[in-house]
A and B are shown apart, each in its own frame.
Chain A
Amino acid sequence: MADAMPAAPGPLPVGPVGRRGLGQWGVGALIASEAALFAYLLFAYFYAAASARPGWLLEPAPKLWPALPNTLLLLSSSLVAWIGEKGVERGRRAEALTGLIGAFVMGAGFAAVQVYEWSIKPYRLGTSSYAALYFTTTGFHMAHVVAGLVILAMLALWVALDFFSPRRRIVVSAGVLYWHFVDAVWLLVFATYYLTPYLGFAR
């Protein structure tokens, strides 16, 4: 009979360290589920577009101003948020706050421009199925932007309160990861609603 030996690991990290820990898995699962949600929203668009009659597309050539610069603004906010995360990692509070608050301001700017864009659309939620899809998809994304902004604000507050250290910072990493997700999803939404018409889809 072989000997019974309990697992006797050497030194183990206690709790989350850096970006690693159970929370990372949790945020991963959340993002997987949310990504699926957006996949279905985009599926709904493509399904409706593929089986639609001509004229369904209310904007055969969507205006890229201000949507394109706004997209670039949101994408670069991801970079700024990453700088904030690095700041926490290096223990530099000023850098961390600059990054997080900077990302917050850029995200809020994106949201403001998006609201402005909604307001100048010639159609409304109830106009047609295209309009409903456009406003709902961008609306769902807006809800995620707002959630992301709350997260960035809370992170900045907690950094200001000096809650984190280079080692204990999984909350920051998870929050910033979520912000990256919000930005990445926008790229898909943007490509679907603003770019595929130029490729001739559903025109």
Chain B
Amino acid sequence: MTPAALRVPAIDDDTPELRARLHAIWATTPGWKGWFTTVDHKEIGIRYIVTAFVLLALGGVEALAIRLQLAGPDLRLMTPEQFNIFFSMHGMTMIFLYSSPVLSGFSNYLWPLLLGARDMAFPRLNAFSYWVYLAAALFLYTGFLTGNGPNDGWFNYVPYAERQYNPGLNQDFYALGMVLLGISTAVGAANFVVTAFKMRAPGMSIDRLPILIWGTLTASVANLVVVPAVSLAFFLLWLDRQFGTSFFRPAGGGQPLLWQHLFWLFGHPWVYAIVLPAMGMVSDGLPVFCRRPLVGYSLVALSTVATMILGFGVWVHHMFATGLPGLSLSFFSGASIVITVPSAVAVFAWLATIWTGRPVRSTAFLFFAAMILLFVIGGVSGFMTASVPVDWQLTDTYFVVAHLHYVLIGINVFPVVGATYFWFPKLTGRMMDERLGRWNFWTMFLGFNLGFLPMHLIGLFGMPRRVWTYPAEMGWSALNMITTIGSFAFAIGVLLFFVNVAKSWRAGALAPADPWGGSTLEWALPSPPAPYNFAVIPTIASRHPLWEEALDENTPRSTITRGMMLDTGKETVTTTPLDAIPDRIVEMPCDSWAPLLLAVALGILFVALLLKLWLAIALGALLVLGALILWLWPQRRLLEREPAHG
């Protein structure tokens, strides 16, 4: 049977019968087969989050090893070789394998729920993106476990990364692993962009999007165009190392600075990509606990986008000491100072939300509120480095290390942990333990500040980054000991978090649909939501579909319990990009082996490239091609002949 060309979607109430019908259509196949073939965004989202947390723990253990080596002067717990691999692994893990994927995980899980959609725009691509992320993580950690971890820091400057100075496989693992990871990031970003523009519930016009959507959308648009820069840079490095090209080798006319431009063209927008969605979590979560809408919604949304636009123009501030001309320095210095303005907008909006609201001091609230302070500390230290002459002193010292930890832990880890407390009931159907939550929060907060606030001083006292040890007479010993103690306290805090997650997931109190009195659509769904998310497609009339009664008497109301049923197949509706007017009924893909197959094929190809096994490279390439054709083979149901053609 071929579908009709046009159809008027039937409208009805949300009934148990409808739910039963939808469940049969949407549920993932049970058992191991379903585990490998699922395309449900909720499954994939949770996998992303769990994998990212495992990597957070690994990166954390690496950090503790580093901190032990630096606890006192002239310690010899590690050799310089081990130390260099450990700090590089730590940076690479936290920046590439934890902080972005964890946000992708939350966004994957939450987006369709927030948008009133039944899934992401491209569910199979979503599964593929996860598998490739997993493959890249395994690839990079295989390097580490075989003694071939990256050893030139996460930004991997050439020529030190070239074969002449770095003969092992370390850099080849890093280069190819990053290209592989780039594929995952880019397709994930594409999925978010299309989902944001096409998959919103009717009525959810662009000015009604939750800020988390703005954050991830902005980050995804950026990733889509900047990830190729770093993938290319790593690929060219690999060519330099394995095929004797001279992109970055001065001997053949190459330019070491080209690496830095390509890397930071990507790197700086990336930094925003790993904080903007987390800022969105705070913008959406904090107001729920302040019992009022976010102050200055439009300004905050705008500042999110403005940050990224300016963020494309500040990459050179990572290169102030490379001998650039004065005009260029002035421009990038100015842009880097100006970029504080949109961030300030968000900070004042959050402060105003707390001050004009009625804060409820839940654990999630504490994490969100703490994030504001840590964000400000990371922000002002960043503002200091924006001033070129000051940066010539600050750069490459522990001041910058302290700054980036306030940014990444303050604006990524704290909101993510807060978001876990906030959305855990939705994800698992169980509440997290609030009492343990308090302990968790205070250990993390105090430990973090004990560890990293004094680190600014270590930097001001001149300790350079990436030194494996230091002499006693430099005056850094006491501060380093404090930092080490603080890091361990912080690590205990993170451990308490993991304990709370594990304990609550198994035996936490059962969660109602809406434990916090939230304002957005996900809280209208059972905890956890059904495979199809929404039994009827909701119709949205405001930014706060669940708070309309409380906020205003006279606006139109959103409808969540009555709407299009779309129950004749695995169907949902797409809408227009700006006003979200329904424009098409679309058939969503069922469970599929294609994503896993393609990811495995890519994995084989990259291992073969690493080892330069030509036969295996050819085989891997053929497998990739085969998996792609299998994926794209037109589905009879959807695409082929109309009745007229038989």
Contacts and interface: CB of A to CB of B under 8 A. Distances in A.
A36 B246 contact: no
Interface in A157-195: 158, 162-165, 167-168, 170-171
A8 B5 contact: no
A100 to B, nearest CB: 15
B117 to A, nearest CB: 12
Given A21-B586, A125-B245, A163 B640 contact: yes
A14 B7 contact: yes
A128 B537 contact: no
The size bracket of the interface on A is 35 or more
Nearest to A126: B244
B640 A12 contact: no
B338 to A, nearest CB: 24
Contact of B642 (A1, A33, A168): A168
A69 interface: no
A112 interface: no
Contacts of B581: 7, 9
Contacts of B582: 7, 9, 12
B574 interface: yes
Nearest to A139: B239
Contact of A129 (B189, B193, B247): B247
B587 interface: yes
A41 B122 CA distance: 29
A132 B5 contact: no
A30 B188 CA distance: 11
B228 interface: yes
Interface stretch (B365-373, B424-432, B553-561): B553-561
Contacts of A17: 5, 584
Contacts of B262: 40, 43-44
A20 B202 CA distance: 19
A5 interface: yes
B227 A15 contact: no
Contacts of A105: none
Contact of A52 (B253, B553, B559): B253
A154 B629 contact: yes
Contacts of A170: 639
B7 A11 contact: yes
B164 to A, nearest CB: 14
A193 to B, nearest CB: 16
A13 B585 contact: yes
B564 A163 contact: no
Given A9-B8, A15-B587, A44-B247, A163 B641 contact: yes
A150 interface: yes
Contact of A167 (B122, B189, B642): B642
Contact of A48 (B240, B254, B564, B645): B254
B122 to A, nearest CB: 6
B225 interface: yes
Given A29-B193, A129-B255, A14 B3 contact: yes
Contacts of B85: none
B578 interface: no
A136 B236 contact: yes
B265 interface: yes
A60 B253 CA distance: 16
Contacts of A41: 232
A7 B203 contact: yes
Nearest to B562: A6
Interface string B189-231: 1100110011000110000000000000000000011111101
Contacts of B553: 1
B186 interface: yes
Contact of A14 (B226, B257, B585): B585
A47 to B, nearest CB: 6
A12 B584 contact: yes
Contacts of A136: 236, 239, 245, 247
Contacts of B639: 15-16, 163-164, 168, 170-171
A190 B563 CA distance: 54
Contact of B227 (A33, A53, A158, A171): A33
B559 A6 contact: yes
Contacts of B354: none
Contacts of A53: 253
B6 A7 contact: no
B573 interface: yes
Nearest to B231: A37
Given A126-B245, A130-B253, A36 B236 contact: no
Contacts of B202: 6-7, 9
Interface of B: 3-9, 11, 121-122, 125, 186, 189-190, 193-194, 197-198, 202-203, 224-229, 231-232, 236, 239-240, 243-247, 249, 252-255, 257-258, 261-262, 265, 536-539, 541, 553-559, 562-564, 573-574, 581-587, 625, 629, 632, 634, 638-642, 644-645
Given A2-B554, A33-B227, A41-B232, 12 more contacts: A3-B556, A13-B585, A40-B228, A44-B258, A47-B261, A48-B253, A128-B252, A129-B254, A131-B245, A132-B240, A163-B641, A164-B640
Interface of A: 1-17, 20-22, 25-26, 29-30, 32-34, 36-37, 40-41, 43-44, 47-48, 51-53, 56, 125-133, 136, 150, 154, 158, 162-165, 167-168, 170-171
23 contacts: A2-B555, A6-B11, A7-B203, A9-B8, A12-B573, A13-B583, A13-B585, A14-B585, A22-B198, A22-B586, A29-B189, A29-B190, A36-B225, A37-B232, A40-B232, A48-B253, A129-B255, A131-B245, A136-B245, A154-B629, A158-B634, A164-B634, A165-B645
Closest 5 CB pairs of A and B: A7-B202, A29-B190, A132-B245, A37-B228, A126-B244
